[in-house]
């Protein structure tokens, strides 16, 4: 009886377009909620240092448009000044600084100065909530997706961290994206097919970005490895190898300090 009811439930799942619309709506509402409430939250301890580092990243990109500036951005000294991460100070990886810097450039001018710096992390968190909600909607319907999205956003501590121009919000967002693109069973993943191979690459990319936000992001590799092993069993070596190779390449690519000293 349970099996038959389970089959009926699965047949009632929404199609991909419905799940996508659900995810988009929740992502937009999350972004709106975060941007609207950002002025209510004062600057926290970690943000001051993170903003300084993000400004260094912005200056590094600006140096490409101003060749007369010294040192050149791709030299060892240029990388050291423009990317004070990974191999310097306490060693935080660089991706969260890149998110803050890019968000600061994209933020509308009518926002207050602190919210403009927070714009990138808030958008990334909203995107992660939307992608995760789309996955939930695809399996259990829009109501479950809405409940999941609200459950993530309305955790008080997580709601606060989702605003801040720091590392914990991007770390959580990238970890959530890693889960959202991870296949659930063997039927959704076969390395002999093009689309599932894209899923492997996306999973590796999200995992690499998670690792590149904070050292604790490396812990995200553990559930990914366990999941792929349970899905593939004895044939897990190739999928695991692809995901981990992509993750390592992405981590290296978004940590320019490693370019000079791998």
**pLDDT(12) > 80:** no
Rounded to the nearest 5 degrees, what angle is found at the Cα of 207, between the Cα atoms of 202 and 209? Answer: 95
- Give the mean model confidence (pLDDT) for residues 45-67: 90
At 221, list the tokens: 């590799």
CA-to-CA distance for 65 and 56, rounded, in angstroms? 15
DSSP 125: H
CB 151 within 8 A of CB 129: no
Residues 6 or more apart whose CB falls under 8 angstroms from that of 188 comprise 196, 199
CA-to-CA distance for 168 and 175, rounded, in angstroms? 10
189-211 tens-digit pLDDT: 444 455 578 889 999 999 999 99
**pLDDT(116) > 70:** yes
Confidence (pLDDT) at 234:
81
**pLDDT(188) > 60:** no
**pLDDT(169) > 90:** yes
**pLDDT(9) > 60:** no
Confidence (pLDDT) at 193:
52
CB 209 within 8 A of CB 172: no
Phi, psi of 255, rounded to the nearest 5 degrees: -125, 75
> Which residue did the predictor score with more confidence, 256 or 187?
256
**pLDDT(80) > 50:** yes
CA-to-CA distance for 42 and 32, rounded, in angstroms? 18
Integer angstrom CA distances of residue 51 from 8, 45, 72, 189, 213:
52, 11, 22, 40, 15
At 116, list the tokens: 């403009």
**Nearest partner of 23 among 167, 170, 177, 158, judged by Cα:** 177
Confidence (pLDDT) at 185:
62
Confidence (pLDDT) at 93:
93
């Amino acid at each position: 009886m349970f099996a038959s009811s389970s089959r009926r439930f699965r047949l009632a799942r929404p199609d991909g377009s419905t799940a996508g619309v659900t995810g988009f709506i929740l992502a937009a509402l999350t972004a709106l909620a975060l941007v609207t409430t950002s002025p209510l939250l004062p600057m926290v301890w970690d943000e001051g240092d993170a903003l300084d580092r993000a400004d260094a990243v912005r200056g590094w990109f600006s140096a490409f448009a101003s060749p007369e500036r010294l040192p050149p951005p791709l030299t060892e000294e240029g990388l050291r000044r423009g990317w004070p991460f990974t191999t310097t100070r306490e060693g935080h990886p660089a991706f969260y600084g890149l998110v803050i810097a890019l968000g600061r450039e994209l933020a509308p001018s009518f926002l207050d100065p602190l919210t403009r710096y927070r714009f990138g992390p808030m958008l990334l968190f909203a995107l992660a909530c939307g992608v995760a909600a789309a996955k939930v909607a695809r399996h259990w319907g829009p109501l479950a997706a809405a409940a999941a999205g609200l459950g993530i956003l309305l955790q008080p501590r997580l709601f606060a961290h989702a605003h801040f121009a720091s590392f914990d919000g991007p770390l959580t967002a990238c970890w959530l994206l890693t889960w959202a693109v991870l296949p659930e069973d063997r039927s959704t993943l076969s390395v002999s097919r093009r689309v599932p191979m894209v899923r492997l690459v996306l999973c590796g990319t999200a995992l690499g970005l998670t690792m590149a936000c904070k050292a604790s992001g490396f812990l995200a590799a553990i559930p990914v490895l366990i999941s792929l092993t349970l899905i593939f069993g004895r044939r897990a070596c190739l999928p695991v190898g692809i995901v981990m190779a992509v993750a390592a390449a992405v981590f290296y690519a978004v940590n320019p300090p490693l370019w000079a000293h791998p």
